[in-house]
């Protein structure tokens, strides 16, 4: 009998089938999304001609020459692996890859004490699960005789009045119009060709009189071209997405029934309450608690990594105020649901409000909020001076976190337990305070370690299948934001392989001109939408909804299982001998397995009884991966989340304290393969990169109303320090084993354009070196009278003109499909130069110093406080060494312009032509650094004295070099001069 390894259709569950040439039917050649011919014909009939996963259009000839296999064909793959179980509420079963440890002897680690309770609990549940297995077996037999129902219908039966096919998808991909994207791609290719011709001319036409300057400029230009390729080509297939929240509600929230929406655990991180004001954190927490989402599905965990009593007391006040604020928001559909930002809106709040009591209740709520602010400010004022004996709680006991570097773990549940209800008697979401244990001698890994501690605490207490993490200064601006994400994550087709949904970051309190590009519009509206058309956007640290199983290091369900290879078929002697597997393929399979933190295939557990399962799990090294917590490990095996039934609720807090102990992660995979990844201060990029390497994809969600809003450092010094931290993290990743240049290359699950995007995220700081050199060249050319470009011929002039036109066209077409304004694009270009010659340059040197000398860079929390004056921070100038390089470049180029004009005046008319090109490049530098110059002056046009002194010193050095070269005096032949002197009769 012939063997079958045909993939399974993700829509109907039938085998995909093969063509007449023996190859499997593939509908989408971009992502190989598994869908059979029948389901694809239905998609075409409904007018959907784009891939459900990647958004690329299907090939029109996909239906040619297809033969479908019958379901009677025998497969060597076990049934429990091929048949994906149907799961309630759209949560798919995790997939864990197989490793060699599954074949180990079952008696090796018998009697491990940590699993005794776990074994007993499984024995108690054996009867319950046996009944469920009988029902499942009956359902399986029925499916063998009947056609399988599509996955969408397994989720639920649609209402009778719903149009067929209209409510199948919870989201849809909207490709960029073909007229826009085609012209955009053509210009990119044309620009690439022009660049090749341009470099051919530049390399073959050296400037002998200024060979050093010419060579430097060519090297810089080649690097800029490579950077452009890395930045441009991941934008090759940008897409838009549209969600249907009403369909989500119709499917999972039927009237009269309990909501089937998946639960979500929110993570809010804070470190220093004096730099991150408790009032801002409180607004973030209140916006979470007031979400438009079932209250029993929401849990908010606040991580206080500084163990500050101020954070604890402010959370007590926040929980008390939430009892009034949450019902008010839900009663009147308030937006946004952060009180500070709602009450500061300059709009007519009476518009569209029909309830007569609204005005009265709003005034009362605003008065309550003002009183709440007074209490919070009093706490902050009290915390300014720490008592010598340390802080004391209300019951007279000493605060456990008085020593921030040596304290036990602390957990306090404020809301979500019996009796904690709002003023109207309704249940409130859970609110939990967490401060992990800190002890000297342990590496705590800063924010990444705090996030991993929250992962374990939430798994023990609530174990929601999805996690949403926010910075303490990013509040929920759209109360339906979680529903937007669930349109992707709970979709039975789209959400199967989605590890996280990323929302764009939007900011309040930034000046209208956005002088330092704080909004990052080009990145969030152009680059991220381009990545969404490949394998998904990168993780940017906040505003992200994760699938918990992806954080645990599991592979996506659709990842092909690597089966043992045999030299011949096991059927009969008439079958043909299989070709020996190529060694490179074996190596590739081994590399794929290395990328997974999973221990074994979860489906294999179905072959054992309850007791054997516990022994198998024990000895397949689950403890070595997740740590010594039976409760936590059992939670990782629960497909739909929730607290295990076998766990005693009274012991949960004790277990939660255990999983946040400082030594819990020792000799485990935390921070290496699971959770937030350690090794860089930009742990977000590294964490998302590992997920994409395992085969997961991410999705970019841009609702009309921004989902989250935050605050950004708007003054020059803080902005440069923020960029320095990002750039330093990229350099650390570049110098680590996770460098995208080589990590995961043999696995084959990271797409080429996605890899280019990740390479761009780690090499962009190195552009600072050629950028500084290139910004210095105009001044040197003006001071020396030399130039980096020879006299241009007609062909060379056409090349230069074509290059400038292609650059302009690329920007114009990019603005056309993205909707970004010209001002935002120009601000982005300006700050690219400002950050490149300052923060990026320092990041490169600090990164190499850390690698070579072991000098670590302390993470500085950006202050979230603001001046009472509007945009008061914008004019604050704080001394930092980052200000020296760009200030020096400004002065040098200004001096060079003056020297160039002086030289032209001395030489006459013929000197003005060459001067034009030199001055053009000098003004290019000055215009890009103009926002820096404006910020350096401040409101009162005052600059720190040290900055002026350093800049004058450097400018003086270059001026002395210029005088030494003496470009104003024409060079004379000393030999002829001496001969003339001999003829003179003295």
- Catalytically active residues, by annotation: 305, 684
C-alpha distances out from residue 201 to 10, 793, 921, Å: 53, 11, 19
In the three-class reduction of DSSP (H, G, I as helix; E, B as strand; rest coil), residue 319 is classed as: helix
**How far apart are the C-alpha atoms of 323 and 597, rounded to whole Å?**
42
**How far apart are the C-alpha atoms of 464 and 298, rounded to whole Å?**
9
In the sheet that holds 506-508, the strands lie side by side as: 475-476, 708-711, 506-508
Q: Which residues, including other chains, have CB under 8 Å from residue 275's CB and lie 6 or more apart?
A: 861, 862, 863, 864, 865
Query: 64: exposed, middle or buried (C-beta count within 10 Å: 0-12, 13-18, 19+)?
Result: exposed
Q: What is the DSSP string of 598-619?
A: --S-GGGGGGS-HHHHHHHHHH
**How far apart are the C-alpha atoms of 407 and 863, rounded to whole Å?**
25
Show the tokens assigned to 985.
């009769």
CA 480 to chain centre: 21
Q: Which of 842, 856, 689, 699 is nearest to 760 (CA)?
A: 689
Show the tokens assigned to 619.
């000895």
- Using the CB atoms, write b or e for 835-865: b if 16+ within 10 Å: bbbbbbbbbbebbeebeeeeeebeeeebbbe
Show the tokens assigned to 872.
């008061």
Q: What is the DSSP letter of 555?
A: B
**Count, residues in the chain:** 986
Show the tokens assigned to 857.
């860079």
Beta bridge partners, 506, equal 709
Q: Which of 87, 18, 914 is nearest to 492 (CA)?
A: 87
User: Are 324 and 423 spatial neighbours (Cβ–Cβ below 8 Å)?
Assistant: yes
In the three-class reduction of DSSP (H, G, I as helix; E, B as strand; rest coil), residue 853 is classed as: helix
Q: Which residues, including other chains, have CB under 8 Å from residue 862's CB and lie 6 or more apart?
A: 275, 713, 718, 721, 722
Q: Which of 723, 728, 730, 729 is nearest to 862 (CA)?
A: 723
**How far apart are the C-alpha atoms of 800 and 647, rounded to whole Å?**
72
User: Are 58 and 90 spatial neighbours (Cβ–Cβ below 8 Å)?
Assistant: no
């Amino acid at each position: 009998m012939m063997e079958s390894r045909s993939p399974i259709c993700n829509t109907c569950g039938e085998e995909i089938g093969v063509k007449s040439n023996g190859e499997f039917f593939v509908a989408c050649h971009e992502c190989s999304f598994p869908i059979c011919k029948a389901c694809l014909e239905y998609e075409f009939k409904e007018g959907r001609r784009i891939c459900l996963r990647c958004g690329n259009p299907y090939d029109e000839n996909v239906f040619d020459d297809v033969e479908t296999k019958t379901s009677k064909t025998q497969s060597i793959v076990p049934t429990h692996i091929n048949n994906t179980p149907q799961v309630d509420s759209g949560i798919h079963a995790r997939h864990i890859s197989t490793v060699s440890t599954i074949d180990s002897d079952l008696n090796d680690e018998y009697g491990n004490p940590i699993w005794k309770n776990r074994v007993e609990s499984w024995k108690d549940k054996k009867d319950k699960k046996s009944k469920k297995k009988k029902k499942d077996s009956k359902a399986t037999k029925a499916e063998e005789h009947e056609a399988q129902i599509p996955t969408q219908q397994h989720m639920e039966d649609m209402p009778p009045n719903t149009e067929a096919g209209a409510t199948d998808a919870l989201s849809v991909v909207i490709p960029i119009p073909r007229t826009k994207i085609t012209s955009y791609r053509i210009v990119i290719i044309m620009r690439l060709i022009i660049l090749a011709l341009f470099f051919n001319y530049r390399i073959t036409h050296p400037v002998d009189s200024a060979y050093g300057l010419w060579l430097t400029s060519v090297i810089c230009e080649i690097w800029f071209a490579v950077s452009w390729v890395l930045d441009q080509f991941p934008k090759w297939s940008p897409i838009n997405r549209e969600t249907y929240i009403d369909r989500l509600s119709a499917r999972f929230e039927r009237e009269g029934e309990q909501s089937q929406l998946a639960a979500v655990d929110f993570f809010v991180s804070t470190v220093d309450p004096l730099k991150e004001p408790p009032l801002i954190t409180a607004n973030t927490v209140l916006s979470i608690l007031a979400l438009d989402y079932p209250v029993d599905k929401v849990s908010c965990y606040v991580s206080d990594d500084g163990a500050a009593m101020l954070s604890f007391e402010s959370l007590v006040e926040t929980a008390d105020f939430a009892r009034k604020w949450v019902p008010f928001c839900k009663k009147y559909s308030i937006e946004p649901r952060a009180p500070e930002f709602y009450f500061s809106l300059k709009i007519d709040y009476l518009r569209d409000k029909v309830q007569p009591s609204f005005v009265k209740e709003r005034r009362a709520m605003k008065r309550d909020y003002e009183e709440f602010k007074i209490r919070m400010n009093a706490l902050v004022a009290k915390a300014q001076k720490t008592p010598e004996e340390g802080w004391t709680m209300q019951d007279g006991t000493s605060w456990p976190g008085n020593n921030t570097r040596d304290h036990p773990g602390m957990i306090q549940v404020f809301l979500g337990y019996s009796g904690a209800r709002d003023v109207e008697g309704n249940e409130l979401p859970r609110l939990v305070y967490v401060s992990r244990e800190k002890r000297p001698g342990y590496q705590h890994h800063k924010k990444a370690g705090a996030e991993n501690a929250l992962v374990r605490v939430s798994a023990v207490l609530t174990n929601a299948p999805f996690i949403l993490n926010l910075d303490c200064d990013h509040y929920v601006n759209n109360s339906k934001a979680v529903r937007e994400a669930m349109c992707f994550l709970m979709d039975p087709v789209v959400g199967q392989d989605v590890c996280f949904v990323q929302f764009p970051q939007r900011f309040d309190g930034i000046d209208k001109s956005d002088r330092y590009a704080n909004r990052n519009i080009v990145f969030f509206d152009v680059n991220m939408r381009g990545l969404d058309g490949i394998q998904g956007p990168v993780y940017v640290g906040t505003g992200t909804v994760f699938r918990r199983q992806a954080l645990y290091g599991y592979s996506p369900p659709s990842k092909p299982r690597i089966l043992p290879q045999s030299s011949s078929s096991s059927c009969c002697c008439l079958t043909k001998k299989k070709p020996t597997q190529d060694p490179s393929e074996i190596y590739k399979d081994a590399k794929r397995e290395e990328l997974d933190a999973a221990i074994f295939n979860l489906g294999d557990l179905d072959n054992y009884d309850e007791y054997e399962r516990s022994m198998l799990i024990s000895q397949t090294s689950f403890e070595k991966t997740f740590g010594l917590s039976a409760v936590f490990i059992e939670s990782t095996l629960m497909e739909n989340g929730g607290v295990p039934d076998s766990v005693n609720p009274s012991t949960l807090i004790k277990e939660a304290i255990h999983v946040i102990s400082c030594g819990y992660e020792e000799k485990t995979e935390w921070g290496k393969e699971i959770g937030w990844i350690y090794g860089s201060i930009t742990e977000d990029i590294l964490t998302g990169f590992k997920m994409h390497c395992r085969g997961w994809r991410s999705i970019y969600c841009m609702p009309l109303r921004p989902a989250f809003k935050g605050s950004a450092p708007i003054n020059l010094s803080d902005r440069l320090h923020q960029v320095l931290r990002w750039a330093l993290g990229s350099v650390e990743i570049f110098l680590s084993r996770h460098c995208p240049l080589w990590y995961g290359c043999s696995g084959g699950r990271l797409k080429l354009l996605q890899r280019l995007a990740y390479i761009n995220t780690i090499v962009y700081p190195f552009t600072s070196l050629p950028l500084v050199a290139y910004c210095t060249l105009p001044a040197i050319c003006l001071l020396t009278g030399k130039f980096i470009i020879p006299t241009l011929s007609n062909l060379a002039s056409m090349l230069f003109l074509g290059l400038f036109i292609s650059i302009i066209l690329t920007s114009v077409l990019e603005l056309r499909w993205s909707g970004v304004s010209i001002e935002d694009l120009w601000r982005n270009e300006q700050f690219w130069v400002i950050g490149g010659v300052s923060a990026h340059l320092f990041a490169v040197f600090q990164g190499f110093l850390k690698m070579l000398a072991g000098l670590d860079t302390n993470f500085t929390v950006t202050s979230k406080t603001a001046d009472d004056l509007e945009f008061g921070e914008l004019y604050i100038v704080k001394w930092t060494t980052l200000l020296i390089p760009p200030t020096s470049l400004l002065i040098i180029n200004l001096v060079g312009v003056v020297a160039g004009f002086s030289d032209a005046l001395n030489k006459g008319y013929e000197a003005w032509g060459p001067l034009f090109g030199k001055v053009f490049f000098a003004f290019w530098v000055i215009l890009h650094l103009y926002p820096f110059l404006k910020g350096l002056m401040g409101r009162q046009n005052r600059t720190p004295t040290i900055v002026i002194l350093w800049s004058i010193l450097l400018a003086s050095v270059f001026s002395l070099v210029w005088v030494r070269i003496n470009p104003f005096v024409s060079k004379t032949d000393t030999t002829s001069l001496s001969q003339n002197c001999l003829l003179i009769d003295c």
